């Protein structure tokens, strides 16, 4: 539908969005689900108890049409969000996503899983996972030097790449001490065998780093490496979830690369999506009461 009006004697046609104000899609973001919280691997902010998760799915089904993120983005890109939709996403490839898939399958609910291919089969892990594991393992705590203990608290929010890279490297170098017993992530083989009618795989970077702290070349190589590995999976879709995902975790270089690759992307600032957009917003849902969010 168009509206016509005149400006400086020139007729201008403006497209009027047919979007009803209630029409939107909301993207929920999870990380880990499980029966019990294990301090070495889980933290309250990233964890949802299994029965609670099942109730959340039932609540979502009651209030929304749950569709794949791919379908929701397609509707938005065509300016055709024609109802109330919800999408479920999981980040980081924690092995508990297999539990989540069982519940989602039970209710025929689709979901998208964003994977750091560098951590598949526990080949490596991100600094915050390694720190948490060591901090909660008495026999390894001796490896946490005073300067690591002092600087760990800055890594999540610092805008100083030198500090971020120095200490994230130092912590990730400790992985060699725990790698024989560390068991957090799904394997590539598990992802090959998921139900690809219901579940999609997207990219989350080869490694889980704050892209703002890295050069443009590093960012590009890291995304492309992830795509090279994940695109071998039948369930793969060209959607990127920015690691960490808050506005202070990425920069214009990140967006440039996403545009070069012609990818869609999601980030994490807690909003809902009502229109076509450069990137789509997600709402953290781990352990949260969805009735309060929706």
By CB under 5 A, tell whether 286 contacts Zn ion.
no
Asked if residue 31 lies in contact with residue 92, where contact means CB atoms within 8 angstroms, the answer is: yes
The one-character DSSP state at 273 is B
9 exposed, middle or buried (CB, 10 Å; 0-12, 13-18, 19+)?
exposed
Q: Which is nearer to Zn ion, 23 or 91 (CB)?
A: 91
Give me the residue whose beta carbon is nearest to Zn ion.
Answer: 91
Least Cβ distance, residue 219 to Zn ion (angstroms): 15
How many angstroms separate the CA atoms of 218 and 279, rounded? 21
Q: Which is nearer to Zn ion, 27 or 81 (CB)?
A: 27
Q: Which is nearer to Zn ion, 177 or 218 (CB)?
A: 218
Query: How many residues of this chain bind Zn ion (CB under 5 A)?
Result: 2
Least Cβ distance, residue 17 to Zn ion (angstroms): 32
Q: Which is nearer to Zn ion, 45 or 83 (CB)?
A: 45
How many angstroms separate the CA atoms of 68 and 98, rounded? 18
Q: Going residue by residue from 64 to 103, which x/- string records binding to Zn ion, judged by CB under 5 A?
A: ---------------------------xx-----------
Q: Which is nearer to Zn ion, 92 or 207 (CB)?
A: 92
Q: Which is nearer to Zn ion, 92 or 264 (CB)?
A: 92
Query: Phi and psi of 174, rounded to 5°?
Result: -80, -10
Q: Which is nearer to Zn ion, 23 or 94 (CB)?
A: 94
Least Cβ distance, residue 118 to Zn ion (angstroms): 12
Least Cβ distance, residue 91 to Zn ion (angstroms): 4
Q: Which of 265, 285, 264 is nearest to 26 (CA)?
A: 285
CA distances from 255 to 42, 240, 242, 282 (A): 30, 11, 10, 17
How many angstroms separate the CA atoms of 280 and 72, rounded? 10
Least Cβ distance, residue 77 to Zn ion (angstroms): 24
Other residues' Cβ atoms within 10 Å of the Cβ of residue 67: 18
Least Cβ distance, residue 119 to Zn ion (angstroms): 10
Least Cβ distance, residue 95 to Zn ion (angstroms): 15
Cα four-point dihedral sign 159, 164, 221, 46: negative
Q: Going residue by residue from 20 to 59, which x/- string records binding to Zn ion, judged by CB under 5 A?
A: ----------------------------------------
Place of tokens 């929304």: 64
How many angstroms separate the CA atoms of 243 and 263, rounded? 15
Residues in touch with Zn ion (CB under 5 A): 91-92
């Amino acid at each position: 539908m168009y509206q016509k009006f005149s400006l400086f004697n020139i007729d201008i046609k403006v497209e009027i969005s047919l979007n009803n104000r209630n029409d939107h899609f909301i993207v929920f973001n999870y990380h880990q689900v499980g029966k019990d919280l294990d301090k070495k691997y889980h933290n309250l902010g990233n964890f949802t108890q299994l029965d609670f998760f099942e109730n959340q799915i039932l609540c979502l089904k009651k209030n929304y049409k749950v569709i794949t993120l791919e379908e929701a983005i397609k509707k938005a890109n065509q300016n055709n969000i024609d109802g109330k939709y919800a999408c479920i996403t999981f980040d980081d490839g924690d092995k508990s996503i297999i539990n989540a898939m069982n519940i989602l399958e039970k209710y025929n609910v689709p979901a998208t899983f964003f994977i750091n291919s560098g951590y598949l089969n526990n080949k490596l892990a991100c600094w915050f996972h390694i720190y948490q594991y060591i901090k909660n393992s008495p026999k390894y705590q001796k490896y946490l030097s005073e300067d690591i203990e002092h600087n760990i608290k800055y890594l999540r929010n610092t805008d100083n790449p030198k500090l971020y890279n120095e200490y994230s490297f130092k912590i990730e170098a400790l992985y060699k001490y725990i790698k024989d017993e560390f068991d957090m992530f799904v394997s590539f083989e598990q992802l090959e065998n998921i139900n690809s009618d219901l579940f999609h795989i997207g990219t989350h970077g080869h490694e889980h780093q704050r892209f703002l702290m890295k050069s443009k070349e590093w960012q590009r190589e890291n995304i492309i490496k992830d795509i090279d590995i994940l695109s071998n999976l039948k369930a793969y879709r060209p959607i990127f979830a920015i690691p960490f995902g808050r506005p202070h975790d990425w920069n214009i270089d990140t967006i440039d690369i996403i545009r070069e690759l012609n990818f869609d992307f999601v980030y994490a600032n807690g909003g809902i999506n009502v229109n076509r957009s450069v990137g789509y917003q997600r709402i953290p849902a781990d352990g949260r009461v969805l009735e309060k969010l929706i």
